[in-house]
Structure 1
Amino acid sequence: MGKSKTKRFKRPPFSPTGERETVENEEAILGDSPAVELLEKLQHPSAEVRECACAGLARLAQQQPTISALTRRDAVRQLGPLLLDPSLAVRETAAGALRNLSACGGFEVCDDMVTKDIMTPLVALLKECSAGLDSNETSLKKNKDLNKNYIEDIANEAVNVLWNICECSSRAVSIFNKEGCLEIVLKYLSRFSTNVDLAISVAFCLQAVTEDNPELLKSFSAPALQVLESAMFSPISSMEYTLLKTLLAGTVWNLKDILPSKSQADTINALLKIFSDVLEVDIGEVVIQMKEAETQRLNTATETETEEAEEMNGDTLKEDDEMEEIPHKRKVRRKTFISDLLPPNEKELKQTVALLTAQQIALEIIVNMCCSEDPSDDEWDEFSSSDESDAFMDNSFNESNGQLMSPLCLSAEVHTALTNYLIPKKIVEKIAFPNSVAIDICSRNPTWKPLIRKMNTIQCRALVCLHSILSVLDIDCLGGAPALQTLAQHLSQLAFSQPDFAKHTEFLEAISSALRTLLQIMASKNISQCMTPEQLMSLCEAGIHSSNIGVRVNVVSILGITGSVLSKEDGTLETLKTIGRFLLEVATKDSSLVVAGETLDAIFDVFADGKEAEKAAVEIKLLSALKEFQPVFKTKIRKEGRGKYSTDQLCVLDNVKMNLRRFIAYQETVEKRLTP
C-alpha cells in the first residue's frame, strides 16, 4: 500500500473528425428503416445513388444508437466492395462511411469489421492509391473533376479507417505488418509538403501501429526513418505541421529501441524540443487571435459579396429594361452569393484544433516517457504493505519515511532533456488553463464551443503529466521546497476554482493524483504543507462520493498523508478527530474493498504515532470501531475477493488484514496507557 502509479496513455480509438454526435431529441434518432433503405441503395446501378447512400450511412454512423442497426444489417460487408467501386466518388464516400463507423463504434465494431474481412478491400485500395501517386495510367486518374485530387482524398479516408481499426484490433495490426502497409503509408507521408491532412492521418496511424509492435519495428529501414525525419524537421511552420511533427515525435519514441545507441541522446533531445515548443504556445491567446482573424475574414468576404450583389442587381435592372422591350424573353437570375455554393470555410477553427490536439498528444507522450516499461492501469496491482508490517510490533508504531511511489526508471537522457527544455515549468503553466476570455469566446460561438472540452482535457492531461514528473524528478530539478509549496498552494486553489468541480470526474481524478504525489513528497522532505483543514475536508468529501474508485483511493490517501504530518504537531487534536471519523466512515461503508483497504492504511498512518494522534484515537473510539469492523472486513475478503479482485489485489488485502490485527494490538496498549 502507499505507492502511486503513473498513468500511461494509449492513443484514443477515435479519429479526430469522427466524433460521436449527440442527439438530444430521442425521437430524432434514426432507426433501422433509414439504414435498410440506404443499404439497399448501395447496390443501385447508378453511381450517384450509391454515392448518396454511402454519404447517408456516414451520417448515420455518427449517431451511436444506429451503429448497432448498421452492424446487424451487415453494413460492413456491403460497404467493403465499394472501396473498389468503378466510381471514385463512391470509393471516397464508402471509405468515409467506414471511417465514421470504425471511429464511433469502438473496439467491438472494429474487431467485427476485421472479422468480416474489411482489411482485404481496404489494403487493396491503399495499394492502388499508392500506385496512383506515380502513374498516370491508373483508373484513379480518370476523373473529370480536375480540381479534386481523388487519389489523395480517397487515401486520406482509407488511412483513417486503417488507423481506427488497427487502434482497436491486434488482428488488424498483424495484417498491417504482413501486407507491407508500412511502405504504403510512408509513401503517403512523403507528400507532407503538399498534403498535410493526409500526412497527419498517416502520422496518427503510425503512432498507433508502432506501439508495442516489435515485428513492425524490424521493418523500419534507414530510408523509412529518413522519411519520418524529413517530415519531423520540416521548416514549414503552421499549426497543422505542429500537429504532424508532434505525432511523428511520438512515433519515433515508439521506435527508440531500434535507434543506434550513439544517437539516443540526440533523438530524445530533438523530441523534447518539439514538445517544449508545442507547450510553449498559449492556447488561450491563440483562440482569441484566431477568432478575431475569422471575424475579419468573414467581414471581408461579406463586403465582397455585397459588392457582387450590387453589381448583379445592376445587371438585373438592365435585364428588366431589356425584357420590357422583348416580352417573350425568358429572365434567368444568377445565384445571389457565390459563398452559398461553397461549404463554410473554418480554417481558423481547424488550425486551433490542430494545436490543441498537438498539446494533448505532447503531454501524453511525456507521461509515457516517465512511465515504467510495464505500467498498470490498476492503482493496486503492485501495492504492498509487507514493508511496514514489522512496525506494528513496536509500541512506538513509527511511520515509514519512504516515498509514496517506487522511483520509476528514467534514463539520464530523458531526465536531462526534461530539465533543459523546462518541461516541468511548461506543464505547470498548462495546469492553470483554460483562459477565461477564450472560454467566453468559445461559449458564444456554436462551432467553437467544442474547444472548451478540448481545453479542459489538456488541463487534465497536464495534471496527470505533473503527477508523472513529480514521480521521477528530485525536488531540486523542480525548484526546491519553495517551488513545491507554491505548487501545492496553486493546486489547492485550482481544486476549488469551479463550484461544481466534483462533477468532473476526469479533472477530480487528475488533480487528486497530483496532490497525493506532491503532498507525499513534501511530507517525506519535511516541507510544510499548504492546504487548510477546511480545504482538505472539502476536497475529500467531494471526492469520496465519486463513482471513480481512483478518486476515492486518492482522497483517503491524501488524508492519510496529511494526518500523519499533523499527528506530530501540537494543537491538531480536533483536526485529527475529524480526519479519523471521516476515514472510519469510509472504511466501514465504502462498497469497494480496494477503497476500504486504502482507507485502513490511511488510518494506520494517521494514528501511528504522536501524542495528539493518541488522544484523538481514544476520543473517537477508534479501537472499538476497528474491532467491530475487523470480522466484517475478513468476511468481505473471503466472500467478495475471489470473484471481484485480482491475485495481486487479494495479496494486498491480506496484508491489510494482517496489519489491522497488529494495529488493533498497538491501539490496545495506547488505550490502556491513556485510560485511568
Structure 2
Amino acid sequence: MGKSRARRFKPGLFAPTLPVRQSNGHGEQENCETLQAEELLQKLQSPSPEVREFACASISRLVQLKKVIPSFLQKDAVRCLGPLLLDTCLSVRETAAGALRNLSTCGGFDVCDDMVTRDIMTPLVVLLRECATSLDVNIESTIKSNDITKNYVQDIANQALNVLWNVCESSSKALCIFNKERCVDIVLQCLSKFQTNTEMAISAAYCLQTVTEDNQDLLNSVDTSSLQMLESVMLASANNMDIRLLQTLAAGSIWNLRERIPSSMQADSITAILRIFAEVLTVDAGQYIVQMKEAESKRLSAATVEHETEETTAILDTSLNEEDEKIDGFSNQKRLTDISDLIPAANDEIRQATALLVAQKTALEIIVNMCCSDDPSDDEWEMLSSSDESDLGLEKSLNDSGGQLLSPLCLSDEVHSALLNHLIPKKVFEKTRFPNSSALNICQEASPWKPMIPRLYTIQYRALTCLNNILSVFDVENLGGASALQELAQHLLEIVFTQSDVQNQDEFLEAASSAVRALLQIMASKGIPQCMMPEQIMSLCEVCVQSKNTSARVNAVSILGITGSVLAKTENTSDTLKAIGSLLLGIAANDSSLVVSGGALDALIDVFADGEESEKAALEISLLQELGKIQPVFKTKIRKDGREKYNMDQLCVLDNVRTNLRRFISYLESVEKKHRS
C-alpha cells in the first residue's frame, strides 16, 4: 500500500446558539413559534424600539428550528435584520446581532454564504468598528434590570463577532472583505479585553483562529504587538476553564501565524503552544463533569434553603405591609418562588464543563494538523495507489524495497521534540477511551447537561483521528517500541468490539478505522507481529464497508490490503486470503464511490501480487475472471463520472489504478498458465 494522507481539521461552526434575554412574558416563546416569518419581519420596521427588539428576539428563537430557516430566507430576513445592526436603540442592535448569530450558526455553511451574498458584511463591519471605538474610550450605555448593570457595547460586540466568525468560515468572499477592511485589528482589540470580559474575548479568539487558518493575505496585517498580546493571553493565570479555552484558541491562532514568528523564537513558541494543549488534555473530562454537577447540586441546595428561610421570615413578620412587600413591581412571594432565581441564566458549572470539552476538542484538532503534511487533505480519498506506472513490481513482495508500507510525513524537529516532551502521544491515547460512565449517567439524567454527551464522544473521535496522525509521524522507538504498539492494538480491539453504545456510528467508525489502519501499517512495515486476528479485522471491515462514511470504507479496504499483504507471506493462509479477496471483489464491484472501488482494486493488487498462498487463493476465487468483469465497468465509470465527481488528484490515482489493474490482470493470466501447465 502507499502513503495515506493524514486527516486535517479546519475550524467549524462551533458557536453555541444565543440565549436571548428573557422578557417578562411567560408564554412568549410558545407565541413566537406560532408567528409567521412575514409578520415578524414586518415588526422589524416598527417605529417602536420595543417592538423591533421583540421581533429580533422572536426570530432569534425561531431560527434555532432549522425547518423555519428557509421561510425567513425567502422573505429576505438578512436584508431586514442587517440595518438593525446600526439601529439607534442599542438593545435592538444586540438582539438583531443575536438573531443573525443564531441564523448563521443553525443554518450552516449555505446560509452563511447566502448572508454574505445579501451584503451582511457592510453593516457588520461598520457595527464592529463602532464597538471598537467605544471599547477604546470606555463608552458604556447601561440600563438597570434586576440590579444588574448591562454593558451593551461589549454584548453587541460579542454577538457581532460570532456572526463574523461564522460567515468568514463559510465564505471566501467574507474572508476577502475581512482582510481588506483589516477586521483583524478589531478582533484582536476585543481579544485584548480578556481580563475584563472573557466571554467577548473567547468569541474573538474563535474568530481569530478561523480567519488565520490558511490565510496568507492576513499574515502581513499581524505585527509583533499582536503576537505579544496573544502571548500575554497564553501566559495568563488560568483559574477557570473559560481561560483554559481562551488560551487554547489563542495557541491555535499562534500556530496558524507561525510564519510571522522569528525563526529564533519558533521552538519556544511551539513549546508554549503544546504546553497549553498538554495542560488542557491532562484534565479528566468525565471526572470534571462529575465535580461540576456536585458543585451545582450544592449551590442549588444552599440557594433553596436560603430562599425558604427568607420566605418564612417574611410570613412571620406581620408588620410588613403590602407596599413593603413590593420590590421592583413584583411581590416578594413571587420573587422567592420564581425558578429563575434558583437557577441563574448562566449556569457557571455547565459553562465551565463545556469550556473544558471544547478546549480539549480544539487542542486535539490542532495537534492533528501539526502531525500532518503541509498539503491540505480535504479529499474523500485519503490514500494514494500502491505504486506508479514505472515499476509495478508485482512479482516482488512489498518488503523487497525496504519494507516501507507507510512513508512518514514531514515533521519539524521543533514540533517533534515538543510533542514528545509534553507527552502528547500518551495524553492522546488516554483520550481515545470511551467517556466516563458516571459522567454519561449524570448528563443523561439532567436535561441541561445532556448536550455534554455528544461533546464527550467527540473528544474520543478526535483523539482516535489524532492517534492516526501521530502513528504516521513517529518512529517505533518514540512510540514505546514493539510492545507498546501491541498493547495499543489490544486497546483498539477493546474499543471496537466491546462497546456498541456509540453516539455517532459513522464518525466513530471513520476515526477508529483510521487508527487501526495506521497501526497496522507501521507494524507491517517494521515486521512487528500482529495482535489482531484476521477474523477480528474482517469483522471490523465488514461493518465499515456498510457505513455511509466514505472515509470509513476507504480505511476498510486499506486495512484489508495491509492484512492480506502480510498474510500472503505466511504459510497456510489461503483460506483467509480467499475471504479477504472475496470481500474486496464485492466492494470493487458494488460500492457507489469510485474512490472506494479504486481502493479495493488497489488492495487486491497488493494482496495477490506475489506468493504461493496468494496464487492458490486467487485461483480458487476466480480472481482473474472476476476482475475481467469489473475492469470494463470501472473504466466506463471513470470516463463517465470522473471529471464531474472527483478532483484532479483523485483522477490521477484512479487512472493509476486502472493502469495497474491492466498489468495485474496480465500477471494473473501468467499465473493461470503456469498452474495449467
Q: TM-score normalised to the size of structure 1?
A: 0.91
Distance 2:331 2:199 in 1: 40
**Residue 391 of structure 1, CA deviation:** 4.1
Distance 1:133 1:500 in 2: 49
Secondary structure at 1:133's aligned position in 2? helix
Report the equivalent of 1:337: 336
Report the equivalent of 1:184: 186
**Residue 239 of structure 1, CA deviation:** 0.4
Report the equivalent of 1:100: 102
% identical equivalent positions? 59
Report the equivalent of 1:485: 486
Tell me whether 1:585 sits opposite 2:621 in the alignment: no
The alpha-carbon distance between structure 1 residues 173 and 394, as it changes in their structure 2 partners (threshold 3 A), is closer
Deviations 1:113-164 (A, max 9, x none): 223332222222222222223436x5x5364566111221111111111111
The alpha-carbon distance between structure 1 residues 173 and 60, as it changes in their structure 2 partners (threshold 3 A), is same
Tell me whether 1:511 sits opposite 2:512 in the alignment: yes
Does the Cα contact within 8 Å between 2:601 and 2:657 map onto a contact in 1? yes
Does the Cα contact within 8 Å between 1:398 and 1:609 map onto a contact in 2? no
**Residue 256 of structure 1, CA deviation:** 0.4
Alignment-mate amino acid for residue 336 of structure 2: F
Gaps of 5+ in 2: 20-29, 325-329
Distance 2:4 2:268 in 1: 31
Report the equivalent of 1:328: none
Distance 1:568 1:361 in 2: 42
Distance 2:108 2:331 in 1: 51
Distance 1:446 1:355 in 2: 19
Deviations 1:607-664 (A, max 9, x none): 2223222222222222222233333333333333343333333332232222223222
Q: TM-score normalised to the size of structure 2?
A: 0.91
Show the 5 A alignment for 1:642-657.
Answer: 642-657=643-658
Distance 1:142 1:302 in 2: 31
The alpha-carbon distance between structure 1 residues 110 and 650, as it changes in their structure 2 partners (threshold 3 A), is closer
Deviations 1:416-442 (A, max 9, x none): 001111100000000013111111111
Alignment-mate amino acid for residue 548 of structure 2: S
Distance 2:113 2:247 in 1: 30
Once the two structures are overlaid, the 10-residue window that deviates more, 626-635 or 429-438, is: 626-635
Report the equivalent of 1:5: 5
Does the Cα contact within 8 Å between 2:238 and 2:244 map onto a contact in 1? no
Once the two structures are overlaid, the 10-residue window that deviates more, 6-15 or 335-344, is: 335-344
Report the equivalent of 2:571: 570
Secondary structure at 1:432's aligned position in 2? coil
Does the Cα contact within 8 Å between 1:32 and 1:66 map onto a contact in 2? no
**Residue 32 of structure 1, CA deviation:** 9.3
Does the Cα contact within 8 Å between 1:30 and 1:66 map onto a contact in 2? no
Distance 2:52 2:335 in 1: 31
Distance 1:234 1:643 in 2: 51
Report the equivalent of 2:545: 544
Report the equivalent of 1:45: 47
Does the Cα contact within 8 Å between 1:130 and 1:188 map onto a contact in 2? yes
Secondary structure at 2:356's aligned position in 1? helix
Distance 2:186 2:543 in 1: 51
Distance 1:576 1:104 in 2: 48
Distance 1:381 1:289 in 2: 40
Secondary structure at 2:449's aligned position in 1? coil
Alignment-mate amino acid for residue 77 of structure 1: R
Does the Cα contact within 8 Å between 1:382 and 1:648 map onto a contact in 2? no
**Residue 270 of structure 1, CA deviation:** 0.5
Alignment-mate amino acid for residue 363 of structure 1: L
Deviations 1:241-264 (A, max 9, x none): 000000000011111001111000
Show the 5 A alignment for 1:317-336.
Answer: 334-335=333-334
**Residue 502 of structure 1, CA deviation:** 11
Distance 1:502 1:435 in 2: 14
Report the equivalent of 2:15: 15
Report the equivalent of 2:26: none
Alignment-mate amino acid for residue 2 of structure 1: G
Secondary structure at 2:218's aligned position in 1? helix
Report the equivalent of 1:78: 80
The alpha-carbon distance between structure 1 residues 142 and 572, as it changes in their structure 2 partners (threshold 3 A), is closer
Distance 1:148 1:502 in 2: 39
The number of aligned residues is 657
Deviations 1:464-484 (A, max 9, x none): 111111111111111111111
The alpha-carbon distance between structure 1 residues 131 and 258, as it changes in their structure 2 partners (threshold 3 A), is same
Does the Cα contact within 8 Å between 1:501 and 1:508 map onto a contact in 2? no
Report the equivalent of 2:160: 158
Superposition CA RMSD, Å: 2.6
Tell me whether 1:281 sits opposite 2:264 in the alignment: no
Tell me whether 1:527 sits opposite 2:528 in the alignment: yes
Distance 2:31 2:54 in 1: 20
Once the two structures are overlaid, the 10-residue window that deviates more, 346-355 or 401-410, is: 401-410
**Residue 2 of structure 1, CA deviation:** 2.9
Does the Cα contact within 8 Å between 2:385 and 2:602 map onto a contact in 1? no
Report the equivalent of 1:326: none
Distance 2:95 2:379 in 1: 41
Report the equivalent of 1:22: none
Distance 1:658 1:141 in 2: 71
Show the 5 A alignment for 1:256-295.
Answer: 256-295=258-297
Report the equivalent of 1:219: 221
Gaps of 5+ in 1: 20-27, 323-330
Report the equivalent of 2:24: none
Distance 1:643 1:173 in 2: 27
Does the Cα contact within 8 Å between 1:132 and 1:141 map onto a contact in 2? no
